[in-house]
Every structure is written in C-alpha cells, then in structure tokens.
Amino acid sequence: WRRAFQALAVLVAVVIAPAALFVLREPKLPPVAQHRRSDASAPLPDHYWTVRSALRSRAFHFAVLAFFTGGSLSQMLLMHQFAFMVDHGVAKTAGSVIVGVIGIASIPAKIVWGTLSDRIGRELTYSVGLACILLSVLCLAFIGALPGLAMPIAFALLLGTGYAANAPIIPAAARDLFAGPKFPSIFGTLSMFAALGGATGSWLGGALYDLTGDYRAMLLVAGALAVCAPCMLWIAAPRRPQPPPQL
C-alpha cells in the first residue's frame, strides 16, 4: 500500500498538477458564446434562489436528507467492504481485485445514470441506482455462506453501478430545484451535507461493528438507508421545482 500511495502521489504531480495549468487561462470564445456571456452579465432577475431562502425551503431539507443518507450508505459500504470480505473468508488479494472492480464499474455507470436521468427523471433514476446498492447489500450478506467469488463479484458490480448514481444526480437535482444566479453557493451548501453524510457513514459502520461484534447491524442500516434516500428525493421533487420566494 505504501508503494501504491507513492505512485498515486507521482501521478498527481506529473498529470493532475500540470493539467490544472490549462484552466488558468480562459480560451477565446466564438461570437455566439461571447453573446451568451454578455447575456449572463445582464441585471439579476427580481426573484431568484439564495442560500438563505433555499435553507428555509422544504425541497432543500429533503434534498439534504436524500443526499446525506445516500452518501452515508455509499461510504459505509466502500469503507468496510474489504474488512467484511476478509472476515468472511475472501482472500486479501481477491478482495483487492474486487475493490478495483467497484471503481471500474462506476465509470460507465456515471454516464448511463446521467443520460437516463435526463430521460426518465432524477427521482426514478436515483431509485434504480439505490436499488442496485440494496441488491449489493444482499450479495454482501451472502459472502461466506456461498462458496466462490460469485457473490463478491456481484456485490462489486452492483455497488459500483449503484453508488455512481450520486455523481450525476446530486448536481442535476440541485440545479432543477434551485436554478439561478446563486446556484453555485446553494450547490456548495448542499454538497457539504452530502460530504457530511459520507463521513457519518464511514464512522457509523465501524461504530456498529464495535458495538455488536459483527456486521449484521451495519447491513440492516445499509438496507434501510438504501430505501430511505430515494424516498427523500421523491419528496424533494426536482421534477416539480417550486418558484423562488420574493426577495
């Protein structure tokens, strides 16, 4: 692991840091884009969402609950899956490969979820994504009870596919609900709660294990979160955004 992290650090220095130089200067825009930019600098509309007004809205509260619980669920499983598999008889080398399968599965899934949400809606797409995670929890529960690597691989594919729904759905749903000139600050606030959910899930999985001595309680909580998160997004209803209050 030490060498892996050293290699990752080299990649950051060699690839990511130089790539950041390309965004320091804005490219020249064609005439159409210049016209759009001039429109963007027009006076603000009379009514638009702000962080303060969003924080008081019902939609924001349920969006926070949706992405807090969804982030908590994803990070709980991502953080503790390797220890769970090793505890239930999966070799460490096989477990490492399975962890990689999760990341590989998530790459095309992000594109699919984003495209699908534009066609059938954020709520239904998120529900399907979280259903994949719920199925992954069931697969995780059967690891050790069934021989071979079928259940670990199924778990990895389902989890990688399911948790990838968070990446396109969170910004898209937030944009649907709170579009306007102050959207970046609103989205940043919403993302903060989603990140807090991820941190909470990582801690909660370990706390439940320490409290009970096994992972059964964590699996039950994970299943409950997989049901709760999409329900909260349905109530937030990005398919029916509310107009901003008068300033």
Going 240 to 180 to 127 to 225, the CA torsion angle's sign is: negative
Q: In this structure, what token pair is assigned to residue 133?
A: 């995670």
Distance of CA 141 to the CA centre of its chain: 22
Which domains are assigned to the chain?
Answer: 52-236 (1.20.1250.20)
> Could you please report the per-residue DSSP string of 197-241?
HHHHHHHHHHHHHHHHSSSHHHHHHHHHHHHHHHHHHHHH-TTSP
Q: In this structure, what token pair is assigned to residue 1?
A: 């692991």
**Along the 247 residues of the chain, how does pLDDT read in single tens digits?**
788 889 989 988 888 878 877 777 666 766 654 455 544 555 556 678 899 999 999 999 999 999 999 999 999 999 999 888 988 888 888 888 888 999 999 999 999 999 999 999 999 999 999 999 999 999 999 987 887 888 999 999 999 999 999 999 999 999 999 998 999 999 999 999 999 999 999 999 999 999 999 899 999 999 999 999 999 999 999 999 888 887 6
Backbone angles phi and psi of 143, in degrees to 5: -65, 130
